[in-house]
Amino acid sequence: MKFVLIFNRVYQFVKFVSIIKPDPLVSLKEFTAARIAIGRVGTSIPLKEFQEFKLAHAHARDAVYSVLDIGGLLNSLKVFKLPILHLHSNAISRHKYLTRPDFGRQLDEESTSQLKDYSTSADIAIIIADGLSATAVNENAFNLLELLIPMFLDAKLKLSPLCLVEQGRVAIGDDIAYGLNAKFSIVLIGERPGLSSADSMGAYLTYNPRPGLTDESRNCISNIRPQGLTHKPAADKILYLVNEAFKRKVSGVTLKDNAGLLG
Amino acid sequence: MYKFTVRNIVYRFDDLKTLLAKASPYRTGDVLTGVCAVSYEERVAAQIALADVPLKTFLNEVIIPYEQDEITRLIIDNHDAESFNSISNLTVGEFRDWLLSDETDTAILKSIEAGVTPEMTAAVSKLMRNQDLIAVAKKCEVATRFRNTIGLKGHFSTRLQPNHPTDDLKGIAASMIEGLLYGSGDAVIGINPATDSPAVVMNLLKLIDTVRQQFDIPTQSCVLSHITTTLELINKGAPVDLCFQSIGGTEKTNSSFGINLALLDEAYEATLSLKRGTVGNNVMYFETGQGSELSANAHHGVDQQTCEARAYAIARKYKPLLVNSVVGFIGPEYLYDGKQIIRAALEDHFCGKLLGLPMGVDICYTNHAEADQDDMDNLLTLLGVAGCNFIMGIPGSDDIMLNYQSTSFHDALYLRKVLGLRPAPEFEQWLMKQGINSINFTNGNQLHEFIGKVTKLLK
């Protein structure tokens, strides 16, 4: 009796396996990270592959709705012995943030008045914003700054207070750095999560930041995360661009075109 | 000035463009522009007022000034009064009923094509339910030809989209081969390059052309670079089948894309002159999408769906092989969720078809939109029923270069199976020769021989 049961279960299993048509091109998987050779059941995607996809999408969705870990960041960033400002954009909720990009680019009133106490001039303002994935900055911002801030201090660059911004978009850095009277801004922000990269952080660099700038005035270093551009090379690239920008007094498209070191 | 009174409230709409915007079904992009109706009642009041506007009004009251915008000039100057004649006495509301009536068949719809303006199609779509948009689009037939025939009734094609984040030739080839074996690629094998470098684009063009010639595949290729890059490559003798460009519905939008009608004329003539088509000479591939005018800050206060329809005026000037509305790519500030994406896709497909365009749709979403695979399945099925010419085919729905989700090779097979749709006839013949039955999707021994050959080519 027991044998029959086991036999039946094995039989069911084999039957199940055999209805998944193997993909003849498994050998091509080595050439691309694309989801090729996933087989089929009928004309559909086999369950295992579909659930892998669904899990990746869940990670991306959760990243969009993740929140900046203010407590954790305040705690880790205090080693730099800089004042830390906690700011908020005009987008009062994630829903507003997603539907009104203009709100995410403006500081709210209270934050604007906070800046007034810190408007002594500085070389660089570092701004950490949640963007489309707070997870990305929660996991990558400190690790990057741990390498980057000592480099700046060695280069005798004066830093503004560190800013943490909730519901912020890239351009909010212009208003903040302008308010802090900084010559240069670095916005570390969570990028739109991809299916395999919910933790990807971007660094947007702007020389002479001021309200009203658009993307062509900035340089972007993308995909900063352990499985992408790792923290050390990211910090090196940022330092290189900061030095070049100060030398040529410009950032954005023109700087990028001349920067042979950037890969 | 247009108005409608509901109970004691008089809703006034200053001009046609305001009326169109207020009558538009709710979407976040129009809220962001500030042209959207402020209440449900105002929206329906606008729709009721719009129903009474004569179609003729659209020829006299342009929504973006003739002097300021070359798309407006194109629309007005190319209007065909003769084709318009049979519908010239209708209002927008009567036009909706006329489109749905039993008497209005495929041939009649074809006969009014040149007499309909984009704004007329946008207007009437705003009075229609999703069901209406499907029912009328289904009656239209727009077939185009290059090395095969796309858009015949009962047929349904796919663009094979084998993108790779670094344009790696082997990576692209691997996805391309897989797609072909899944019966994908009869509309085009089209790569979005990660860079617009002419040298890279040239290599990609050569790659697809080599595979196509080696296996004698009756399809066409395209690398979706900027039109100026394509022109440069044509002059260098690159194997360019189709010339691609993204287009928008206002002159200012197109300037932000670095194009205008004169440049499109030049590229069209250059591509035609290569005479690479075998069964026809539709050589252009356009992509559009609601929201691009707002994104370029070039909307003139016109709602995003009407802007989108105006882009189709450009498309039809060049008798394209394919027009693709990349509906869900733009993000939630324009189309927030599955409901808005589905509605927009059905509108685009309907308006394009009514204007005589070979419409396909990139059924897609980004991870910050409120949408998922279920929404895409719904839209896929609706568009299949509506007679959409083509969709995208991407390994496992996951575009690893553009970082968004579109339709998979499997999705297209599902649709062909449940609706009994077939690939382009010439392509289907080729599939059968390789041992691939594209309807029930079975494959035979010949397939292994084919795979052996292509794999050898790759390694």
A167: domain CATH number?
Answer: 3.40.50.11240
Kindly provide the ipTM of the predicted complex, given to two decimals: 0.93
Q: Is the pLDDT of residue A226 over 60?
A: yes
Question: Residues 209-228, chain A: which have Cβ within 8 Å of B?
Answer: none
Identify whether residues A203 and A118 lie together within a single domain: yes
Instruction: Tell whether A3 is covered by a domain.
Output: no
Average pLDDT over residues B441-449: 59
Instruction: Tell whether B90 is covered by a domain.
Output: no
Q: Which one, of B370, B367, B411, B379, lies nearest residue B392 by Cα?
A: B411
* B368 contacts A64? CB cut-off 8 A: yes
* A24 contacts B400? CB cut-off 8 A: no
Q: Which residues in chain A are contacts of B27 at CB distance < 8 A? A: none
- Which residues lie closer than 8 Å to A6 by C-beta, 6 or more apart? none
> What is the domain range of residue B222?
144-445
Place of tokens 């009174």: B5
Place of tokens 């994630």: A94
| B41 touches A at CB < 8 Å | no
Summarised one tens digit per residue, pLDDT across range B402-417 is: 999 999 999 999 999 9
Identify whether residues A155 and A135 lie together within a single domain: yes
3-state secondary structure of A124: strand
Q: What is the average pLDDT value for chain A, to the nearest integer?
A: 90
Instruction: Give the CA distances from residue B429 to residues B410, B420, B423, B438, in Å, rounded to whole numbers and listed in that order.
Output: 20, 16, 9, 10
Instruction: Give the CB-side neighbour count of residue A94, counting CA atoms within 13 A.
Output: 16
Task: Report phi then psi at B85, rounded to 5.
Answer: -45, -50
* B405 contacts A57? CB cut-off 8 A: yes
Chain mean position to CA B186: 16
Instruction: Tell whether A214 is covered by a domain.
Output: yes
- Which residues lie closer than 8 Å to B399 by C-beta, 6 or more apart? B161, B163, B405, B406
Average pLDDT over residues B351-361: 98
Report the pLDDT value the prediction gives residue B366, as an integer from 0 to 100.
Answer: 97
CATH of the domain at B213: 3.20.20.70
Between CA A101 and CA A112 the distance in angstroms is 18
Report the pLDDT value the prediction gives residue B441, as an integer from 0 to 100.
Answer: 59
Q: By percentage, how much of chain B surpasses pLDDT 70?
A: 95
Report the pLDDT value the prediction gives residue B17, as an integer from 0 to 100.
Answer: 98
| β-bridge partners, B12 | B3
Identify whether residues A73 and A33 lie together within a single domain: no
| β-bridge partners, B160 | B189, B393
Identify whether residues A92 and A53 lie together within a single domain: no
Give CA torsion, residues B414, B417, B421, B427, to 10 deg.
80
**A100: distance to nearest CA of chain B, Å?**
6
Q: How confident is the model at residue A253 (pLDDT cuts 50, 70, 90)?
A: confident
Summarised one tens digit per residue, pLDDT across range B23-79 is: 999 999 999 999 999 999 999 999 999 999 999 999 999 999 999 999 999 999 999
Instruction: Tell whether A4 is covered by a domain.
Output: no
Summarised one tens digit per residue, pLDDT across range A41-67 is: 989 999 999 999 999 999 999 999 999
Instruction: Tell whether B137 is covered by a domain.
Output: no
Report the pLDDT value the prediction gives residue A211, as an integer from 0 to 100.
Answer: 94
Q: Is the pLDDT of residue A7 over 70?
A: no
> What is the domain range of residue A59?
19-63
Q: How confident is the model at residue B451 (pLDDT cuts 50, 70, 90)?
A: low
| β-bridge partners, B309 | none
- Which residues lie closer than 8 Å to A78 by C-beta, 6 or more apart? A84
Between CA B185 and CA B217 the distance in angstroms is 10
Domains in chain B: how many in total? Answer: 1
Instruction: Tell whether B18 is covered by a domain.
Output: no
Model-level pTM? 0.92
The secondary structure element, H or E, covering residue A30 is none
Report the pLDDT value the prediction gives residue A83, as an integer from 0 to 100.
Answer: 96
Summarised one tens digit per residue, pLDDT across range A81-114 is: 999 999 999 999 999 999 999 999 999 999 999 9
Average pLDDT over residues B279-294: 97
Q: By percentage, how much of chain A surpasses pLDDT 90?
A: 76
> Residue B39: is it exposed, middle or buried by C-beta count within 10 angstroms (0-12/13-18/19+)?
exposed
Q: Which residues in chain A are contacts of B171 at CB distance < 8 A? A: 31-34
Six-digit token pair at A131? Answer: 């963007």
Chain mean position to CA B444: 35
